[in-house]
């Protein structure tokens, strides 16, 4: 098997590179390092079956030889990143998806698109199931990410229906674990970094908004199962164990032993009030559900951050 992973030097992409190499694949990692880091894949660089190509997938890519699988994971994925890079985010969701789908058509590859729970926007249906069409503000600041992914899903299904490309779509909910960036603006590294540095923990709004956190190892297992499944509709991958952000901040304080206080700041524009996946489809189609308890996954993540936090 030869597998191409765009965004392979990113948080989730690097874990996929590692897992597929362990499964015996030749892995071609494509990344322009706009948010990915070489540190995430340096432990793979000496392997004969691993290759890195520095390339912006929003530009056409030529590959010699067969490609069995294409996993399109290239995109800024945190609000800090896609608000800093709005146009590259739109381009990689549209042009990057078009380029990788065209390559999949040419090479007769299986194709998996990394979509997101953000396609549901600020949902009016809870929990969110794949049949829900979402509640997205297309011209809001977050729309550059939300609509890029919604467009990417539409193009992926069009290539499946019109060109018979073997496509899969995973809608990824909040995921955490080793190799997250401390400065990426997402809630887990934000709160853990603040707790480890003894700074006040920042909670936006009154903290009543909810999230559901899935450990990266569980997510990767779901992605691999989806890649190998004969199923083409979107599939939610995430942990249905929901928690308020305020309670989550208190959990981080307890886990780290920090004496920091919790402070409150205004809620960002279009920030979803609730987020919890309905994973019935993943259970039925893939036989998958998360196995790592949040507390165990957070301990592993905390150990990773302890060595990297700037005290």
282 within a domain of the structure (yes/no): no
For residue 311, being part of any structural domain is answered with no
| Residue 14: CATH number of its domain | 3.40.50.720
Average pLDDT in the chain: 96
Active-site positions?
145
Residues 157, 296, single domain; the answer is: no
Query: Could you give the CA distance from residue 291 to residue 285 in angstroms, rounded to a whole number?
Result: 17
Closest by Cα among 116, 126, 128, 224 to 171 = 116
Residue 281 lies in a domain: no
Q: Measured between alpha carbons, how far is 202 from 204 in angstroms, rounded to an integer? A: 7
Do 142 and 166 reside in the same domain of the chain?
yes
How many domains are there within the chain? 2
The reported pLDDT for the residue numbered 44 is 97
Residues 230 and 256 in one domain: no
The verdict on residue 227 lying in a domain is yes
Residues in the chain, pLDDT under 70: 311
Residues 252 and 170 in one domain: no
* 269 found inside a domain: yes
Same domain, 252 and 136: no
Would you state the pLDDT for residue 311?
A: 54
Residue 307 has what pLDDT?
87
Residue 162 shares a structural domain with residue 297: no
Residues 140 and 127 in one domain: yes
Nearest to 144 by CA among 77, 58, 97, 205: 77
- How would you label 180-213 residue by residue, b for 16+ Cβ within 10 Å and e otherwise? bbbebbbbbbbbbbbbbeeeebebeeebebbbbb
Q: Say if strands 110-116 and 214-215 run parallel, antiparallel, or are unpaired.
A: unpaired
256 and 109 within one domain: no
* 200 and 225 housed in the same domain: no
pLDDT of residue 242: 96
Range of the domain at 189: 178-211+241-275+292-306
Q: Are 107 and 191 found together in one domain? A: no
SS3 at position 22? helix
Q: Do residues 199 and 101 share a domain?
A: no
């Amino acid at each position: 098997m030869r597998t191409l992973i765009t965004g392979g030097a990113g948080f989730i992409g690097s874990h996929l590179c590692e897992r597929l190499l362990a499964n015996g694949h030749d892995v071609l990692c494509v990344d322009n390092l706009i948010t990915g880091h070489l540190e995430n894949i340096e432990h793979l660089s000496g392997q004969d079956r691993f290759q890195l190509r520095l390339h912006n997938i929003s530009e056409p890519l030529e590959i010699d030889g067969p490609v069995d699988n294409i996993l399109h994971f290239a995109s800024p994925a945190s609000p800090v990143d896609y608000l800093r890079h709005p146009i590259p985010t739109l381009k990689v969701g549209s042009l990057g998806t078009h380029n990788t789908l065209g390559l999949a058509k040419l090479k007769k590859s299986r194709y998996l698109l990394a979509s997101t729970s953000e396609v549901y926007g600020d949902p009016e249906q809870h929990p969110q199931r794949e049949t829900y069409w979402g509640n997205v503000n297309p011209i809001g600041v977050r729309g550059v990410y939300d609509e890029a992914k919604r467009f990417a899903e539409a193009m992926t299904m069009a290539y499946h229906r019109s060109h018979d490309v073997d496509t899969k779509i995973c809608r990824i909910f909040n995921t955490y674990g080793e190799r997250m960036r401390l400065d990426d603006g997402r809630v887990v590294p934000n709160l853990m970094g603040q707790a480890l540095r003894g700074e006040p923990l920042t909670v936006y709004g009154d903290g009543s908004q909810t999230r559901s956190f899935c450990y990266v190892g569980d997510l990767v297992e779901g992605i691999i199962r989806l890649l190998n499944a004969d199923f083409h509709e979107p599939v939610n991958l995430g942990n249905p164990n929901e928690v308020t952000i305020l309670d989550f901040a208190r959990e981080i304080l307890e886990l780290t032993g920090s004496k920091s206080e919790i402070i409150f700041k205004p809620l960002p524009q279009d920030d979803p009030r609730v987020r919890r996946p309905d994973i019935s489809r993943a259970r039925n189609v893939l036989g998958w559900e998360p196995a790592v308890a949040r507390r165990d996954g957070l301990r592993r993540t905390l150990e990773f951050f302890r060595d990297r936090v700037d005290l």
